[in-house]
Amino acid sequence: MPALLLFAAVLTAAINLRAGMASVGAVLDDVVAHYGAPASLGGVITAMPGAMFCIFGLCAVPLARRAGLSPTLLLAGVATAAGLALRPFAPLMSLFILATVSVAGGIAMVNVLLPAWIKKYGGRHMVVLTATYSVTLSVSAAMGPLSALFTDSWQVALGVWASTAVLQVAVWAVVARTAGRDRPQPGTAQAAGEPARGIHRSPTAVALMVFFGLQSMNAYVQMGWLPSMLTQQGVAASTAALGLALIGILGAGGGLLLPMAVARMRSLAPLVLAFGLASAAGYLGILFAAAAAPIWWCVLLGLGGWCFPLAIALMPARTRTVLGTARLSGFVQPVGYILAAAGPLLVGVAYGRIGTFGPILVALTVLSLMMGVLGIVASRKVFIEDELAR
């Protein structure tokens, strides 16, 4: 497959992996008010991406083994584009939620399958393609909330992302036609991690799953609730939105550097500990001095968010085959996103009961420290298939 098409495919897929969902947090109050819905639905909407990522992510690998990687990724792009195009025009909250399900479902399948697709077609470009994936995804997360700064209409702020999704569909239609039914196949049963021992028997896979889940929980709590956490303590709404965008921009730096670090560093333990400590410090800063340096606390949270590109880079780096990567991704991401779904929902429930974010920020600080410790196990230089074979 031509290198230009490889990069275009990864770029157009990754740009849609966050913006369509990250854009909701900045206009969440407007959406709830427009439909006259109860405030509790805000927690449901912010929790929905993680829940849908789990449900549809579990379907991704079986579907790809039947239809092929590229056709399934094309189908996922169509689902995302349809949801993004229809959501601003939904006359009822139920239809808005249904369109959001379509968006999240398409994103979920791309989340799981794109690392395996890069493993299959990347060749000598694999590290660069992985970096492109991570950087573009972070840019997507940063751009999502910014769309609300340029319009007073929440419909426009959300609907603008349908254009990038349509571009994704166009590029992947060419990819699918070029690749055909490129179903992921094992090399040998043992090498592909096919023994009766399930992938959950791998300590590294389990640690990576929980590590990924905790960083995803942090990301979706921040996307859904960080502006409210800051504004409750006197930070201007515009500053809060810019802080959230800054977290995504910083993530692009991690996406550029972490794939190379995974390929070259002997031990990643110092990095993952530093990322956990940065997240914890950011939450503590918001708790005790939010108005004093809100941008600085967002910088620390953005550095903590480098756990995401690290986790993405570890999936192909810690597996031997395309099917092994797909199976690891299909295990880590859906289960990890259960935590991502639970986080924003529990924050909404807790905030509704206690009316303050103080205890919530303390809990997030503790979980960030746990994330750093788990990252040490998740980043060990082993292959998942070898652990399963033993």
Written in H, E and C, the secondary structure of the chain is: CCHHHHHHHHHHHHCCCCHHHHHHHHCHHHHHHHHCCCCHHHHHHHHHHHHHHHHHHHHHHHHHHHHCHHHHHHHHHHHHHHHHHHHHHCCCHHHHHHHHHHHHHHHHHHHHHHHHHHHHHCHHHHHHHHHHHHHHHHHHHHHHHHHHHHCCCHHHHHHCCHHHHHHHHHHHHHHHHHHCCCCCCCCCCCCCCCCCCCHHHCHHHHHHHHHHHHHHHHHHHHHHHHHHHHHCCCCCHHHHHHHHHHHHHHHHHHHHHHHHHHHHCCCCHHHHHHHHHHHHHHHHHHHHHCCCCHHHHHHHHHHHCCHHHHHHHHHHHCCCCHHHHHHHHHHHHHHHHHHHHHHHHHHHHHHHHHCCCHHHHHHHHHHHHHHHHHHHHHCCCCCHHHHHHC
Domain that holds residue 380: 3-389
Half-sphere exposure of 114 (CA within 13 A, CB side): 34
Phi–psi pair at 33, nearest 5 degrees: -65, -40
- Contact between 79 and 115 under an 8 Å Cβ cutoff? The reply is no
Statement: residue 40 has pLDDT above 70? no
Statement: residue 194 has pLDDT above 50? no
Look at 31-40, 86-95, 296-305 and tell me which has the smallest mean pLDDT.
31-40
* Rounded Cα distance, 353 and 340, in Å: 21
* Rounded Cα distance, 204 and 380, in Å: 7
Token representation of residue 200: 């959950």
Look at 124-138, 181-195, 335-349, 357-371 and tell me which has the smallest mean pLDDT.
181-195
Q: What is the pLDDT at residue 185?
A: 59
Average pLDDT for residues 268-276, to the nearest whole number?
Answer: 90
The residue ranking higher by pLDDT, 250 or 263, is 250
Percent of the chain with pLDDT over 70: 95
Look at 22-31, 86-95, 280-289 and tell me which has the smallest mean pLDDT.
22-31
Nearest CA to 243 among 198, 203, 200, 295? 295
Statement: residue 326 has pLDDT above 90? no
Nearest CA to 225 among 36, 363, 389? 363
Q: What is the pLDDT at residue 321?
A: 83
* Rounded Cα distance, 331 and 317, in Å: 16
Sign for the pseudo-dihedral over CA of 94, 97, 103, 108: negative
Average pLDDT for residues 152-169, to the nearest whole number?
Answer: 94
Statement: residue 5 has pLDDT above 60? yes
Q: Give the number of other Cβ atoms within 10 Å of residue 151's Cβ.
A: 13
Tokens 């206690």 -> residue = 354
Average pLDDT for residues 45-54, to the nearest whole number?
Answer: 73
Q: What is the pLDDT at residue 95?
A: 93
User: Residue 156's pLDDT band (boundaries 50, 70, 90)?
Assistant: very high
Amino acid at 50: G
Nearest CA to 208 among 301, 124, 325, 106? 325
Statement: residue 369 has pLDDT above 60? yes
Statement: residue 312 has pLDDT above 90? no
Round the average pLDDT of the chain to a whole number and report it.
Answer: 85
* Rounded Cα distance, 307 and 313, in Å: 10
Q: Model confidence over 200-234: pLDDT tens digits? A: 888 889 999 999 989 988 988 887 789 889 988 88
Nearest CA to 259 among 158, 135, 352, 136? 135
Q: What is the pLDDT at residue 184?
A: 66
Query: Would you say how long the chain is, in residues?
Result: 390
The residue ranking higher by pLDDT, 195 or 156, is 156
Statement: residue 188 has pLDDT above 60? no
Percent of the chain with pLDDT over 90: 32
* Tally of domains in the chain: 1
Statement: residue 193 has pLDDT above 50? no
Question: What torsion, rounded to 10 degrees, do the Cα atoms 275, 278, 282, 287 define?
Answer: 110
- Residue 98 belongs to a domain with what CATH number? 1.20.1250.20
pTM, to two decimals: 0.73
User: Residue 39's pLDDT band (boundaries 50, 70, 90)?
Assistant: low
Statement: residue 48 has pLDDT above 80? no
* Rounded Cα distance, 206 and 382, in Å: 13
